């Protein structure tokens, strides 16, 4: 067994225009003081990383790692959640998702998809140059608007949608394969890959591509009322990344899973800071440790109540307390008698 690495923190939700959150150096100093050992970098934040330069220059990557190491930190993974979303966008969402793209390709869906594809390919090479072996992203969605359909979906619609999504992703997956980096899709409502079955569909249409893997975030499963512990048993071989994020689901006589279009604070299902929700992290850390998870425990903060800096401070301690330092001996070793094949046969009466 292996001890999970951490604690680490995803910087995306903490970036701001005031110190220390307006520079990479400031964020590293802040995270290190809180006790974090790793940072996950959102690549759309250009003042944190120049993605194209990271793809083209090993020297730049070495300097970036060195700068971060000065604070006692290391990069856990890069993230292209926003760019990955743009690989598949249904026209109904064009205007809302345009803000994720460079200004030069807005109002041009084809150019936007090409831009996003290039971003992902740069992320593959950048990850390789940084010595990383996993990458975080979203799948995008062509089918999400049909998730709970009325009228019913035409026969073959889901199959066609997944084939098209795979067609767009396979060249990207091949680039990651060449770089020796796993693509870890965060299974997330709003994405065509949002649970185990949709992950299996995508795996099938990509011909079981070896770089198709999972970023495990139990908060999204709790809000879907999916058994997130059994999920680990089923898909443990694909889980290569882990977001430690809490959530709660408190249905009422007026609203349930779909939330009634309410704001986050009024939804039955809502994200919480670590330890304030309902997720069984003791069970999760136990199962991931049992299955030799080799990655990082990365805190992602998304809470509708608590201040983010309090969430981060408490989150570092929470993760540290939940990481299981694996045992090097069996608890009953003291009672071992020492055996040989002849003794075993005698015990069995052979």
88-126 pLDDT tens trace: 999 999 999 999 999 999 999 999 999 999 999 999 999
Helices H, strands E: what count in the chain? 13, 10
Q: How confident is the model at residue 329 (pLDDT cuts 50, 70, 90)?
A: confident
Pick from 18-32, 60-74, 212-226, 326-340: least confident: 326-340
**If you average pLDDT over residues 169-182, what whole number do you get?**
98
Contacts of residue 107, Cβ cutoff 8 Å, sequence gap at least 6: 98
3-class DSSP state of 223: helix
Tell me: pLDDT of 332 over 80.
no
Mean pLDDT of the chain: 97
**If you average pLDDT over residues 284-292, what whole number do you get?**
98
Burial 65-102 (b: 16+ CB within 10 A, else e): beebeebebbbbbbbbbbbbbbbbbbeebeeebbebbe
Which pLDDT belongs to residue 314? 98
Q: How confident is the model at residue 69 (pLDDT cuts 50, 70, 90)?
A: very high
Per residue in 218-264, pLDDT (tens digit) is 999 999 999 999 999 999 999 999 999 999 999 999 999 999 999 99
**If you average pLDDT over residues 159-178, what whole number do you get?**
98
DSSP labels, 34-75: HT--EEEEETT-TTT--HHHHHH-HHHHHHHHHHHHTTT-EE
- Cβ proximity of 87 and 141 under 8 Å: no
141 secondary structure, DSSP code: B
> 335 or 15: whose pLDDT is higher?
15
Cis peptide before 151 (omega within 30 of 0): yes
Q: How confident is the model at residue 205 (pLDDT cuts 50, 70, 90)?
A: very high
Q: Which of 153, 9, 1 is nearest to 76 (CA)?
A: 9
Which pLDDT belongs to residue 224? 97
**If you average pLDDT over residues 53-62, what whole number do you get?**
98
CATH number at residue 216: 3.20.20.150
Which pLDDT belongs to residue 324? 98
* Domain range for 334: 5-347
Report the number of distinct structural domains present in the chain.
Answer: 1
Token output for 259: 């939330």
Token output for 77: 């993974």
Residue count of the chain: 350
Q: How confident is the model at residue 327 (pLDDT cuts 50, 70, 90)?
A: confident
Tell me: pLDDT of 335 over 90.
no
Q: How confident is the model at residue 141 (pLDDT cuts 50, 70, 90)?
A: very high
Model pTM greater than 0.75? yes
């Amino acid at each position: 067994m292996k001890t999970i690495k951490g604690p680490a923190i995803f910087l995306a939700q903490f970036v701001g225009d005031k110190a220390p959150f307006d520079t990479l150096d400031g964020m590293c100093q802040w995270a290190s003081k809180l006790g974090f050992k790793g940072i996950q970098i959102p690549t759309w934040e250009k003042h944190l990383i120049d993605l194209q330069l990271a793809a083209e220059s090993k020297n730049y990557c070495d300097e970036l790692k060195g700068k971060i190491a000065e604070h006692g930190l290391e990069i856990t993974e890069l993230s292209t959640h926003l760019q990955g979303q743009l690989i598949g966008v249904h026209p109904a969402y064009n205007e809302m998702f345009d803000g994720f793209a460079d200004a030069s390709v807005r109002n041009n869906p084809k150019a936007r998809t090409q831009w996003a594809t290039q971003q992902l390919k740069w992320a593959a090479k950048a990850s390789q140059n940084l010595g990383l072996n996993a990458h975080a992203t979203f799948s995008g969605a062509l089918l999400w608007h049909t998730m709970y359909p009325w009228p019913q979906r035409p026969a073959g619609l889901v199959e066609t949608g997944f084939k098209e999504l795979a067609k767009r992703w396979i060249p990207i997956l091949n680039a990651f394969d060449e770089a020796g980096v796993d693509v870890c899709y965060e299974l997330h409502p709003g994405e065509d890959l949002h649970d185990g079955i949709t992950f299996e569909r995508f795996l099938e249409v990509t011909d079981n591509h070896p770089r198709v893997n999972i970023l495990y975030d139990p908060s999204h499963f709790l809000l879907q009322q999916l058994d997130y512990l059994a999920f680990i048993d089923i898909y443990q071989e694909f889980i290569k990344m882990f977001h430690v994020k809490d959530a709660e689901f408190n249905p009422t006589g007026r609203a349930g899973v779909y939330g009634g279009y309410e704001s986050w604070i009024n939804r039955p299902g809502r994200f919480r800071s670590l330890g304030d929700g309902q997720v069984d992290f003791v069970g999760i850390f136990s199962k991931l440790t049992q299955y030799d998870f080799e990655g990082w425990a990365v805190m992602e903060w998304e809470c509708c109540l608590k201040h983010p800096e309090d969430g981060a401070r408490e989150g570092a301690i929470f993760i540290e307390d939940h990481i299981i330092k694996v045992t090097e001996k069996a608890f009953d070793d003291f009672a071992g008698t020492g055996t040989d094949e002849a003794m075993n046969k005698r015990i069995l009466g052979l």
